Structures are given as C-alpha cells and as structure tokens.
Amino acid sequence: MSRRNWILLGVVVALAPLFALLVWAAVQQRGQPAGTGINQDFGQVDVAAAPAADFALPLPDGGTLRLSELEGKVVLVDFWASWCGPCRQEAAALNRVYNSYAGRPVQFVGVNIWDTDEAAAQFIAEFGVPYPTGVDKSGSIALDYGVRGIPEKFFIDANGIIQRKYVGPMPESELIAALEGLLANPETGG
C-alpha cells in the first residue's frame, strides 16, 4: 500500500467516530433545530418583577401585534413550537381558558419559535387557536425573554411587569389561579 493510501486510511479512521457522533446527534434531535429543546423540568420559575420587553409580533393575517398595545390587560405570552409534544398536549386547555376570559382584561399571545410558517399555521388550524399567534422568525423575542426551551409562559400584569414564569405544560387549574391572582392584585400577581 502506498504512503498516500495509508494517509487516506488514517484520515478515514480518525474521522469515522466524529461522523458516527454527528449521525447519532442528528437522530436524537428528531428534526428539532440544534440547540433547542423541550423543557424537561416543569413548574413555576422565580423571576424578578421587571418590565416586559416590548415586541412586534408579525401575525399570519399580515398585521402586527405590539405588546405595548396591551397595557392595561393581564397578558400571557406563550412560547411554543408545532413539533413540541408538551405544547400540543396543552393547546386545548389554553384555548378553553382563553375563551373563558372573553370580555375580561386578559390577553394571550402565542409566540412560535424554532419553527416554519407552514408548520405554525398547520398547528394553529389543527388546534383552532383563538388568540393572536405569530412566528418569531429572528428569535429576538425569545432572546429578549431568555427562553431556554419550550413551552414557556410569561405572565405580565396590567402595568407591563413580568410577575410569573411557568416552564412546561401548565395545568388548567394553575393557569386560572395565576390569571385570577393578577386580576385580583395587578401589582403582585396574587
């Protein structure tokens, strides 16, 4: 065997484990973009009450929703993706709770991240999402809120202050309790 063939064989042998690792990682991702994930630890997360970062969320109908336009309402900002199992699991509960607050100063906003427009539109149609929802294509909204996985929910009081954060699918009773707490005492959320 020539020296060139030995070098080529050595390179292939050296790169084979790296290639195998990359294939294994791709299989483990199951189509999710690299660096993203579904939250595994669920529950309320302590947050320091702070002003919520304003954002402009493009909506499927061509309009734009600005968070600042919702001042005076209790706002739930839900970060989700179509491929997220826990997001799919809680979609019906979010819809029920949102509909039960019709006529009250409560607004839900869905922020789709790490997804395509088509997949988001299909999810919205499949689950009949009744509240404004759009795709955060640049990821800037998720970055501003420090989203590390999905689903994540931020509860913002009527003064625009983040009062609560919940990671994972939220039980309907806890969602209602959080909203009622903010409605009863907008300064502290409960």
pLDDT profile of the chain (190 residues), mean per 10: 76 58 45 48 80 97 96 97 96 98 97 95 97 96 94 97 95 96 73
Q: State whether 18 and 88 are in the same domain.
A: no
Predicted confidence at residue 60, as pLDDT, reads 94
Whether residues 19 and 108 share a domain: the answer is no
Task: Examine the domain organization and report whether 54 and 113 are in the same domain.
Answer: yes
What residues make up the domain containing 25?
1-30
Q: Does some domain include residue 189?
A: no
Are residues 61 and 22 located together in one domain of the fold?
no
Same domain, residue pair 144 and 119:
yes
Residue 176 · residue 182 · CB < 8 Å: no
Residue 13 has what pLDDT? 65
Distance CA 95, CA 90 (A): 9
Look-up of token digits 């009527």: 158
Q: 9 and 77 share a domain?
A: no
Residues 111 and 174 in one domain: yes
Whether residues 47 and 21 fall in one domain = no
Asked if 22 and 59 sit in the same domain, the reply is: no
Are residues 24 and 48 part of one domain?
no
Q: How confident is the model at residue 176, as a pLDDT?
A: 97
